[in-house]
Amino acid sequence: MSAVTYDIVMRIERRAFALDVVIRTDSRCVGIHAPVGSGKTTVLHALAGLIKPTDGHIRIDGRCYFESTGRLHLLPEQRRVGYVFQDIRLFPHMSVKRNLLYGNSATNRSTVSQKDSSWNFAELVERLELNGLLERPAMELSGGERKKTAIARALLSQPDVLLLDEPYAGLDATGVRTLNGLIRSAMTEFNLPVIITAHQSDQ
């Protein structure tokens, strides 16, 4: 399995602050641990293409997503990035199954995934223990159930990069173990780069 190279050097200037980010590593998983309000989510927004850095470049797994000198800035739909937001952002009136199928249908885009394999719907549902929830509206789920559904939806979109914003928040010990196992599988089975933000560094 080839090593994933992160080569991210960027400056993000907002009205209230300026943020300088440097991530250079061959690790498949990168953890961003920092206090509330320090800019963790802003970094993920830039990686997903939701905001444009002021300067620098973003290269992950040999692909360039942003290059200020070459004026390259791929749009979010061109990046094939699976992004699980801190506030989850499921479709509240859709069932869990429809939310998951939406993630699966998101693969029908103009860009093609660089990954050779993808998650199987039934396998993900089983691994995340969502079988009994498939027909339940997302608005009726607990916080942990909503989070698992959002992660499954992101993986079903066959991303080239997975971004998780505070995925451990609100999870009990069993949920943390399940999520850690899933992240390890994503990295080892599909060589998927994963970037995680967290308040604590002990996850």
Q: Is the pLDDT of residue 199 over 90?
A: no
Distance CA 134, CA 97 (A): 5
- Cβ-contact 35, 15 below 8 angstroms: no
Query: Could you give the CA distance from residue 69 to residue 102 in angstroms, rounded to a whole number?
Result: 36
Span 68-87, pLDDT tens digits: 998 899 999 999 999 999 98
pLDDT tens profile 153-162: 999 988 999 9
What is the torsional sign of CA 191, 195, 201, 203?
A: negative
- Amino acid code (one letter) for 98: R
What is the mean predicted confidence (pLDDT) over 116-144?
86
Please state, in angstroms and rounded to a whole number, the distance separating the CA atoms of residues 10 and 44.
12
Q: Predicted confidence band at 203 (pLDDT cuts at 50, 70, 90)?
A: low
pTM above 0.75, yes or no: yes
* Domains of the chain listed by start with CATH number: 6-198 (3.40.50.300)
Residue 194, Ramachandran bin (φ over 0: left; ψ between -120 and 50: alpha; else beta): beta
pLDDT tier, 110 (very low <50, low <70, confident <90, very high otherwise): very low
What's the whole-number average pLDDT of the chain?
A: 87
If you average pLDDT over residues 105-113, what whole number do you get? 51
Say if residue 109's pLDDT is above 70: no
Q: Residue 1: pLDDT above 50?
A: no
Q: Report in angstroms the alpha-carbon separations of 182 from 80, 107, 119, 148, 170.
A: 19, 20, 11, 10, 17
Report percent pLDDT > 90 for the chain: 56
5 or 52, which is more confident: 52
Identify the pLDDT of residue 102.
84
How do residues 139-187 score in pLDDT, each as one tens digit? 999 888 898 899 999 999 889 999 999 998 878 888 888 888 888 888 8
Cα–Cα distance measured from residue 37 to residue 154, given in angstroms and rounded to the nearest whole number:
25
Query: Please, which pLDDT band fits residue 106 given cuts at 50, 70 and 90?
Result: low
